A and B are shown apart, each in its own frame.
Chain A
Amino acid sequence: MPLLKLEGVSRDFDVSRPWLNRVLEREPRRILRAVDRVSFSVEPGETLALVGESGSGKSTVARLIVGLHQPTEGTVGFSGRRMQMIFQDPYASLNPRWRVRDIVAEPIRALHTRTRVDELLVQVGLSADDGEKYPHEFSGGQRQRISIARALAGEPDFLVCDEPTSALDVSVQAQILNLMTDLQSRLGLTYLFISHNLAVVSQVADRVGVMYCGRIVEFAPAAQLFTRPRHPYTRMLLDAVPDLAMSGKPRTPVAGEVPNPLAPPPGCTFHPRCPHANERCRVEVPQLLDDVACHGVAEGRI
C-alpha cells in the first residue's frame, strides 16, 4: 500500500485585482491554476523526486501534501505515521531568538527530554553542546542540519524536502545529501524530494516526476529518465544541463521560455517550444498515458 497517494489534485489561486477595480474596469476574475490534476503515489522507503523549472508547481504540490494549502479539487491520502517538511532557506526557517535546543525540541515539547535532543543533534552530525547556541552561530549547511534534526524530532516516516540544498554551496550540498541518504537507510524514511537541479535529483531519487506548467509530463524510474527521457520537455531539460564531463556530445539548443501561468497556451502547454508539435498538440491537452503526457510519444512519432 502506498504511503502517500494524490488523486487528481488541483490547486487554484485567485490573483484577481481588488473588487472595485474589477467592477470599474470590467475585468473578470483571474484564476491561476498552479497545480493541474496531479496524481501519483509514493511507496514506503523510496525517494520520489519532482523536478521542474520555476513556476512548474512543484513547491505547491509539496505544500498541498503537508496541508499548508488545501486542494481545490482531488484528494491527498496519507497512510503513514507522521510527515515533516524541510525548507529551502535555513536562514528563514529557524527562529533566530531561540536556542538550537529549543528549536529542535519544539515538535516534542510535551515529552521533550534533554537526551533525546542531544541524540538528534548527534544524529545529524552536530554535537550535543551545539544545542546551547543560537542559529546565527552556524553556517548554512549546519543550519540545514538543525532543520533536519527538528524534522526528525517527531519520528516521522515521511519527509517532504523542498529544495533542501539549493541555498548551499556544492561541497556543503554533498554533506547534506549524504546525510539524508544515511538517515533514510538508518531510519527507513520515505522522501518526497523537490528540486530544480537534475543532477541532484539523479543522485537521490528512485523515481522522478517531471513537472511543467502545473502538470506532470513524465514519470519514470530515475535510471530510465536520465538515460532514455521520453517527453520532449524532459529531453530539453537534460540537454540544458551543463556538460561537466566536457564530452562534446551533440545537443539540441534550447529555445523559448516557460509560458505565463495566467495565460497558458491551449492544448499541450509545451507546444510553443516543442520541435515535434503538430495541430493536435495545439488544441488537445495530452493525458498521462503509460507515464508520459505527450501526443507525439503516444502516436509513436517521437
Chain B
Amino acid sequence: MILEVIDLKVEFPTRRGTLTALDGISFSIAPGEILGVVGESGAGKSITGLAVIGLLEPPGRIAAGEVRLEGRRIDNLPHEELRRLRGRRIGVIFQDPLTSLNPLYTIGHQIEETILTHLPMTKSEARTRALSLLREVGIPAPESRYSNYPHQFSGGMRQRVVIALALAAEPRLLIADEPTTALDVSIQAQIIALLKRLAGERGAAVMLITHDMGVIAETAQRVAVMYAGRIVEVGAVRDVIHSPRHPYTVGLMGSIPKIGLRKGKLVQIDGAMPRLNAIPPGCAFNPRCPRRFDRCLVERPELMPAGASRAACWLHAAT
C-alpha cells in the first residue's frame, strides 16, 4: 500500500466546544490505484485530503489515528520534514489552478524550481525534464509556452500545468481535490483521461476527491462515500454505482440526473446534511433515512460487509 489512513480523527476546537470534522476514517490506496472520495459539501472529503498532507488550517488538528506513506508514519513528522516530503513524495492538485501557480513567475521557471528542489539535477537537465512533463500533460508546443505566465493560459491548460507541477518530482501519491470542477465539460473529459493515463503509467496512488459521481465512474477503481465526517460506504466503483448498499448512497445515486431518463421526478433525499455541531446520535443519517429503525437512533454503525462492498448501516448487520 502506498497510503494507509487508520482511524483518523480531525477536530476543530472552537469557543463553543470541539467540533469533530472527521471521525474514524480508514482507507488505503495501492500503487497504480485511483481511489475516489465522494461526498456533498461539508461531508469532510477535502479535510481528509488536507489531513493526509498535513495542511489542515489551524486550529484544526489530527486528534487520533495515523497516516502512513509507504509504510512510514507521516502525521507526526516535524513541519519541515513534512514539507519536503510533500513536494517529493506527494503531489497535490487543487480545484482552482491559480491557487497552485505563482502569478509572478513563468510556468517553466516554476516547474524547473520544483524539480531542482527535490531531485538531484542540473539546471539544463531540469529544463529538459520540465519540457517533457509539459508535453506529457498535453501542452502543445511546450518550448514556446515555457516562458509564459499563468494568466496567459486558459483554465484547462492551467490545470495541465498544475498536473505537470504535481508530477515534477515523481511523487508516489497524488491528491487531486476537485481537479475538474472549475472546467467545462469538454475540458473535464480531457483532464480525466490525462489523470487516468498518468496514474496507470507511473504506478502512483491517486486520491481523487470530488462531488461528481460521474467523474468517479470514469476514473476510479474504488470509491469511498462520505457523509458527515465518516465513510458510510466503500467498495469497487461498479458495485457502489450499480448496487449501492447504504441508504444515503442509494439516495445520492437516485438524485443524479441522467441523460436519457426523460422528464420525471428525481429521487430526493429530504433535508440536508447536519452541521458539525449538530450531528445526531446513532447513525448521522438517521433523520433523513427512509429505512431507519430503533437501533439507528442510538448506536452508531461501523463499516460492515454489505453485498460486495462495505457499508456503515445497521440494515446489513449480521445479527
Interface residues of A (CB under 8 A from B): 53-54, 139-142, 169-175, 177-178, 181, 196-200, 202-206, 222-223, 226-227, 236-246, 253-255, 257-258
Contact = CB atoms under 8 A, between A and B. Distances in A.
B40 interface: yes
B16 interface: no
B243 interface: no
Given A243-B218, A244-B241, A257 B269 contact: no
Residue of B154, B259, B268, B270 with highest tally of chain A CB at under 10 A: B259
5 contacts: A200-B257, A237-B185, A240-B185, A242-B214, A257-B186
Contacts of A254: 186-187, 189-190
A170 B184 contact: no
Interface in B221-265: 237-238, 241-242, 251-252, 254-265
Residue of B156, B214, B237, B254 with highest tally of chain A CB at under 10 A: B214
Nearest to B215: A242
A253 B213 CA distance: 20
B6 interface: no
A242 B186 contact: no
B41 A223 contact: no
Nearest to A173: B255
A171 B238 contact: no
A239 B237 CA distance: 20
B185 A241 contact: yes
A298 B211 CA distance: 40
Contacts of A181: 263, 265
A253 B218 CA distance: 13
Contacts of B237: 246
Contacts of A258: 184, 186
A169 B211 CA distance: 8
A171 B268 contact: yes
Contacts of A255: 190
Contacts of B308: none
Tell me what chain A mostly uses at the interface: helix, strand, loop, or mixed: helix
A173 B257 CA distance: 9
Residue of B189, B211, B260, B267 with highest tally of chain A CB at under 10 A: B189
Contact of A171 (B212, B215, B251, B263): B251
B260 A222 contact: no
Given A243-B218, A257-B187, A258-B184, 20 more contacts: A53-B184, A53-B186, A170-B213, A170-B252, A170-B256, A171-B40, A171-B268, A172-B40, A174-B255, A178-B265, A202-B262, A226-B259, A236-B186, A240-B189, A242-B188, A242-B192, A243-B217, A244-B241, A246-B237, A253-B190
Contacts of B63: none
A202 B186 contact: no
A205 B217 CA distance: 25
A92 B217 CA distance: 33
Interface in B195-229: 211-215, 217-218
Contact of A170 (B40, B215, B270, B272): B40
B257 A202 contact: yes
A271 to B, nearest CB: 16
A223 B41 CA distance: 32
A-B pairs with the 3 shortest C-beta distances?
A242-B214, A174-B255, A169-B40
B229 to A, nearest CB: 16
Contacts of A141: 272
A246 B239 CA distance: 11
Contacts of B184: 53-54, 196, 258
A254 B138 CA distance: 13
A244 B36 CA distance: 14
B98 interface: no
A258 B241 CA distance: 32
A175 B270 contact: yes
B255 A240 contact: no
Contact of B212 (A140, A204, A206, A242): A242
Contacts of A140: 41
A204 B263 contact: yes
Contacts of B190: 253-255
A136 to B, nearest CB: 13
Residue of B156, B215, B251, B257 with highest tally of chain A CB at under 10 A: B257
A212 B186 CA distance: 12
A241 B214 contact: yes
A242 to B, nearest CB: 3
B266 interface: yes
Residue of A170, A222, A240 with highest tally of chain B CB at under 10 A: A170
Contacts of A239: 189
A240 B188 contact: yes
Contact of B185 (A196, A202, A205, A223): A196
A199 B256 contact: yes
A118 to B, nearest CB: 21
Interface in B1-51: 40-41
A205 B185 CA distance: 19
A116 B61 CA distance: 49
Contacts of A172: 40, 272
A244 B265 CA distance: 18
A246 B268 CA distance: 22
A226 B260 contact: yes
A244 B213 contact: yes
Contacts of B77: none
